[in-house]
Amino acid sequence: MRASLVAGFALATLVSAPAAQDDKAAASEWRQLFNGRDLTGWTPKIRGYAAGENFGSTFRVVDGLLTVSYEEYEEFGGRFGHLFHENEFANYRLRAEYRFVGEQLKGGPGWAFRNSGLMLHGQSAASMGKDQDFPASIEVQLLGGRGQGKRATANLCTPGTNVVRDGKLWTRHCLDSKSATYRGDQWVSVEIVVRGDTMRHLIDGHTVLAYDDPQLDPRDGDAKKLLADGRDKALRKGTISLQSESHPVQFRRVEIRELAEPGPWLRPLAADALTKFCNTKGNWSLAKGVAKLTPREGERGWRRFDHYLWIEGEWGDFEAEFEYCMQEGSNSGFYLHVGDRAQPVKTGVEVQLYATPHDKPKARLTDHDAGGIIPGDPPAENASRPVGAWQHMHVLCEDGTLFVTLNGKLVQTMSLDHDKIRNRPRRGGIGFQDHSLPIELRGLRIRSLR
């Protein structure tokens, strides 16, 4: 979609009672949507032509690569195209490897230079109007860099749709990710996690963009037709299609892993009282969605304290995110799978929350720095913002692996079979540590993945 409409980015990444188990989805493995030989299972829809008519062999397989080609075109002529997979999908991880090649076709709009997309939660090819440019969908915009300047990829565009960011409806057409710029004909791998009402874009495991509540835009003409035909406004499933916008592009892998339907989000700090979804012996307060730990008078130094903030329930596989703010020297922890809340250090796993200086060298990081696992390993890199700034953490525990993302950077990938934690429970309490040092929390949400 039009690159000039892409706006700035503010990160907002990614659970309550356990969700019902979908054994088939939970146990699914990665499978290829493209067979590497032909377009079996895919249907083209090109503007000006009926669904199934592949004008100019726009979509073809060349040397085992799914290719968008314009060899049989004289000029583009506004023939925006999409190649639809035959199935619809709801909860999944989608991975694609792509590269832009050659020159843009004559007549292609300037913004479409090295521009393609993965269209998700889309309408069907058959439901598109003959002269409709784009399916109503959520577009993961794929962009290649120009000769100079920044040009992110894995952006968001919203043909006929809207999303929610930071609790507010996002109605602008495009939104930049925080990705690097990829120039030339290099292969780029992008992954999208679609789970319930949240969507995340990842490159090399790092979260470059995230948002909530994809939905049809009732102001849009194409979306109005879908709504009139009975389609839900909330988009929780739909088609996947690959885009042609006048620049040749190739895909060598398009693969999917279906996921179980997650449980609903629990938002403990959105309550009017901290005691509604949490319990603690004291020391914590809640005001305007911010939970604050204020040390008791006279407490100083390295000692153990037991006024942890515990979230209700027992948790196995889960997803959580929150923001925390610390003063210089502050120390706390996000505890999970705690078997005995009277002994969290001995019976749980801690994701370290620490006021790590943002310029601390990687070589000096320990498991006691922000994003470290105690007991376990230091973070893979220093992703901390300056002390006093709000830090964003996303924690995912799934299929025996713990993933920790700090400020968009994946800093931990640890197996629960790691030597230092293999004897810890695989299910238990979740809470925040009382270290007799100040910490503030906001935006906390947690959901079960089983």
* pLDDT (tens digit per residue) in 19-35: 333 344 444 799 999 99
Q: Please classify residue 225 by burial: count the beta carbons closer than 10 Å to its beta carbon, then call 0-12 exposed, 13-18 middle and 19+ buried.
A: middle
Tokens 């009672």 locate to 17
* Structural domains in the chain, sorted by start: 3-258 (2.60.120.560), 268-448 (2.60.120.560)
Tell me the CA distances in angstroms from 121 to 1, 25, 85, 214, 390, one per residue in order. Answer: 16, 18, 12, 8, 32
Q: pLDDT, tens digit, for every residue of 177-214?
A: 999 999 999 999 999 999 999 999 999 999 999 999 99
Instruction: Write down the pLDDT at residue 7.
Output: 35
Instruction: Write down the pLDDT at residue 306.
Output: 83
* Prediction pTM value: 0.91
Distance CA(238)–CA(127), nearest Å, equals 12
Which strand (E) or helix (H) includes residue 320? Answer: strand 318-326
- Which region among 17-26, 36-45, 66-75, 289-298 has the lowest average model confidence (pLDDT)? 17-26
Instruction: Average the pLDDT over 109-132 and give the result.
Output: 98
Is the predicted pLDDT of residue 57 greater than 60, yes or no? Answer: yes
Q: pLDDT, tens digit, for every residue of 274-311?
A: 999 999 988 899 999 999 998 877 766 556 678 899 99
Instruction: Write down the pLDDT at residue 303.
Output: 62
Tell me if residue 388 falls in helix, strand or coil: coil
Tokens 């799914």 locate to 66
Q: Would you say 47 and 80 are in contact if contact means Cβ atoms under 8 Å apart? A: yes
Q: pLDDT, tens digit, for every residue of 141-152?
A: 999 999 999 999
